[in-house]
Structure 1
Amino acid sequence: MVTEEVNQNVTQISDLAQEVDTVVTETSHSADELAQLSKRLSTQVERFKT
């Protein structure tokens, strides 16, 4: 019975770790995209300054 509980807990931890990995990857992609958009916006703003 204790072994089953430990196995369930380990499985839950593994599942959560996979979810965290997915979220981190998505966040990283979003951050990269935001950085690209920021550069594009800066380029557009520079056109108005000159």
Structure 2
Amino acid sequence: MLGVLTPQLRALISKDLVFSSLVLLLKDPEDVSVRIAAARAVGMLHDFS
């Protein structure tokens, strides 16, 4: 989702907020698919920075 943003829009989004939100999703006790998706998203953060 973040990959389709222009560099100007990407610069407006807090990387710390994105990462901390993904960390919360990694800790989801209810749904393993949420944790898997969050782990994949963390793995793609290098494209976002």
Please say whether Structure 1 and Structure 2 have the same fold, judged by a TM-score greater than 0.5.
no
TM-score (norm 1): 0.32
Higher relative contact order (CA 8 A, sep 6+): 2
TM-score under structure 2 length normalisation = 0.33
Higher helix share: 1
